[in-house]
Structure 1
Amino acid sequence: MPFSPPSGIAFHTADQIPVGELSAILRRITTFLQSLDLAPQPLRLYHDWWQHDGLHFDEGQITFHDLFAMFETPRTLFEATPDDDEVFIGVAPEDGNWYLRFRAEWDADDRSIVGEFAIILPSETAALFRAEVATPSKHVLVEESSESYYKSVKV
């Protein structure tokens, strides 16, 4: 079944953040996502080329354990990211209820590794995410409708 972007509310970084901080917030987000279901369903891994050339590739099934392994350290997060410009890792449950996308890369000066993420959640889950993850974050997260977010990132 082809990927269908979920509707709802998007939360995303306003700017790139240091990879160590990105790794930490992605672990908090993944813990939050895992807590949404009593029996978490399998996840799908994608190479998300929306900002590169508009394409989206299914890379197979993964588990929450696999996802946590991607964020275990800043290095594992950087190594999980495809080398192509503006290509993100995307993850969604098989029911397509939410979508997490992220990437890590060298900054413009090639001095440090930075990254960004976005998560699209159902509207009814947004308040809980805001309270448990977004508000405690030291980084300002932009909150907008998923439709507005998709328009801003899809080529």
Structure 2
Amino acid sequence: MTPDLEQRWKQAQMPFDGKIVTSGVDSSMQTLLKALKYFTKLLDANPQNFYLYHDWHEHDGYLTQAKPISSIKLKNMVANEQSLRASMNGEAEVRTAVYPQSNEWLMRWYIDPDDSAYCDFEFCIATTAKNNPLEQMYLINPQGLNQLAARTYFDKSYGG
């Protein structure tokens, strides 16, 4: 997590004031790609600056800095399995994450480096977000999604 996002999480500010949808069971690579491609289509609906980072929240809580990323580069990153695997850090429980300058949402994904069959994704969205795609996520992965309060989820999953 970034220092700013950590502060937002601890103070239940956007996007941690809303809900999070998580893949509740092991997702296939196909499901992960479908979810991320759906997600990247939403970027065009509200153009703004986006930031990418490796999220160590579950691993050990290490804080890192995000780097700007264009929507085009992000779409290329999730275009296929090879590029998606290349986006990963390679450490256990370290997710790749992206969020907009508005902090309306946070999207994270993970591919286990030791078990390529294990993938997961999470989409956290603020209560005031202009576009709420959570219902659509159920169409992508109807059998294995959980919806929780975002702050509670991050409180329970903290590895630091």
Is the 2:25–2:145 Cα contact (8 Å) retained in structure 1?
A: no
Give, in whole Å, the separation in 2 of the partners of 1:141 and 1:124: 22
Could you give the per-residue CA deviations for residues 100-137 of structure 1, whole angstroms, max 9, x where no partner exists?
11111246xx4x43311111102255994133x22312
Query: Are residues 1:52 and 2:59 paired?
Result: yes
Residues paired across the two proteins, number: 148
Aligned to 2:105: 98
3-state SS of paired residue (1:2): helix
Query: Are residues 1:137 and 2:140 paired?
Result: yes
2:79 is matched with which residue: 72, 79, 95? Answer: 72
**Please, what TM-score do these two structures have when normalized by structure 2?**
0.81
Q: What RMSD in Å do the two structures reach over aligned CA positions? A: 2.2
Give, in whole Å, the separation in 1 of the partners of 2:63 and 2:107: 13
Residue identity (%): 22
AA in 2 matched with 1:27: K
3-state SS of paired residue (2:93): coil
Could you give the per-residue CA deviations for residues 27-67 of structure 1, whole angstroms, max 9, x where no partner exists?
102213432x1xx1111111100011012312410011111
Aligned to 1:22: 32
Query: Are residues 1:43 and 2:46 paired?
Result: no
Gaps of 5+ in 2: 10-14
Higher strand share: 1
